[in-house]
Amino acid sequence: MLLCLGSVPTIVLSSPEVTKEVLRTHDLDCCSRSRLAGTRHLSYGSLDMAFIKYGGYWRELKKLCMLELFSVQRVQSFRYIREHEVASMVELIVKSAESKIPVNMSEKFMTLTANFTCRVAFGKAFQGTEFNDGKFMDMIHEAMAMLGSFSASDFFPRFGWIGDRFTGLHSRLEKSFRTLDVFYQKVIEEHRNANKSDEEEEDIVDLLLKMERDETELAGVQLKEDNIKAILMLARNPRAMRKAQEEIRRCVGNKKCVVEDDLSGLKYLNLVLKEAMRLHPPGALLLPRETRGHFKLFDYDVDLKSRVQVNIWGIGRDPSLWERPEEFVPERFEDSLIDYKGNHFELLPFGAGRRGCPGMSMAMVMIELALANVLRSFDWELPEGMTEEM
């Protein structure tokens, strides 16, 4: 479907066949990014790997990330942090459950995500540190809101900046960037002056500073929501929840908690996660791409600098692809080869092609581990007064 959003031609892909043609056959033709106002302001002129235009710098940056930040070895090196933070979350839920009041899972998973992210990136936990003063989460929420904000200049490049100043969006973006910049600078200076021993945990900032010292040259992290949605879907489907719990408890036996070595044996849990991501992907649309030149898409001409949006929410609920698409049925994936790794275009929570999410492995290990532990340790049900239809 072709839409003219302001002066920007926008192609919306809502079928796996067309999506495959674009993201596989024409991946190189449409693997760039538009310079949107939110991402441009908050990523130092779109220098972030997710938002930068395609080119030599992006290729070197992705290579660096895949080798140093998201490699199998690096993901495995954070195993202790993942298992420790999940165990801490389970202990907090136990204390809450003893009072027999509903547990705010959104809050619990937010803390889990914040603790893990802060320890991996900055070397210190979120809870019990200066991060947990309210300002840190306010800063993150504001930045996320600004990244997804509606900017008139994104659709009317010549004159839209006038509207952004009139609505106050421009000044809000500037303020959010300054707050983030001060925070990042403080973290960097703390790491520069830390003098860590070799035995201490090396976080991502340490690694980046090490690359800077070694003069490494360049050419030129929705977990919380995924966990909550999966638990909610299971609470509304007691049969599926019991089946997942039986598998987990049978596999784990008398062990106190699920560890990462157990995850490979949890086949039904994997089906649950696929079904949860089909119904509730991290976003309704993948990050928009921008075409790098003219090409033919079947019998249609696609022009230079057209914006491409993949409607993964629509694909996941297409009745021509899925039987009973609105129902939560993990068994639909039982004898299916479909996975979420970008090889099957019916299920694309992490995208595909050159612009697929490089942090997929890191995210999925954390999601599986957290979900397996809360299902192993607790029986879940909807709050009193809430029905499965609500």
C-alpha separations of 198 from 15, 190, 201, 252 in Å = 51, 17, 8, 34
Cα gap 185→360, rounded to integer Å: 27
Q: What is the pLDDT of residues 309-335, one digit of tens each?
A: 999 999 999 999 999 999 999 999 999
Task: State the pLDDT at residue 282.
Answer: 86
What is the Cα gyration radius of the chain?
22
Q: Is 357 annotated as a binding residue?
A: yes
The CATH label, of 1.10.630.10, 3.30.70.1290, 1.10.10.10, 2.60.40.1510, for the domain at 2-36+52-132+222-377 is 1.10.630.10
Q: Can you list the pairs that 380-384 forms with residues at least 24 positions away whose Cβ atoms lie under 8 Å?
A: 380/231, 380/234, 380/235, 380/241, 381/235, 381/238, 382/235, 382/236, 383/102
Task: State the pLDDT at residue 389.
Answer: 56
With beta carbons less than 8 A apart as the criterion, state whether 151 and 164 touch: yes
Task: State the pLDDT at residue 218.
Answer: 41
Task: State the pLDDT at residue 314.
Answer: 96
Q: What is the pLDDT of residues 241-300, one digit of tens each?
A: 899 999 999 999 888 899 999 999 999 999 999 999 999 998 899 999 999 999 999 989
What string of H, E and C letters represents the secondary structure of the chain?
CEEEECCEEEEEECCHHHHHHHHHHCCHHHCECCCCHHHHHHCCCCCCCCCCCCCHHHHHHHHHHHHHHCCHHHHHHCHHHHHHHHHHHHHHHHHHHHCCCCCCHHHHHHHHHHHHHHHHHHCCCCCCCCCCCCHHHHHHHHHHHHHCCCCHHHCCCCCHHHHHHHHCHHHHHHHHHHHHHHHHHHHHHHHHCCCCCCCCCCCHHHHHHHHHHCCCCCCCCCHHHHHHHHHHHHHCCHHHHHHHHHHHHHHHCCCCCCCHHHHHHCHHHHHHHHHHHHHCCCCCECCCEECCCCEEECCEEECCCCEEEEEHHHHHCCCCCCCCCCCCCHHHHCCCCCCCCCCCCCCCCCCCHHHCCCCHHHHHHHHHHHHHHHHHHCCCCCCCCCCCCC
Positions in the chain short of pLDDT 70: 126-134, 196-201, 211-232, 382-390
**Which of 41, 46, 51, 35 has its CA nearest to residue 305?**
35
Confidence (pTM): 0.83
C-alpha separations of 37 from 143, 146, 172, 174 in Å = 12, 9, 11, 11
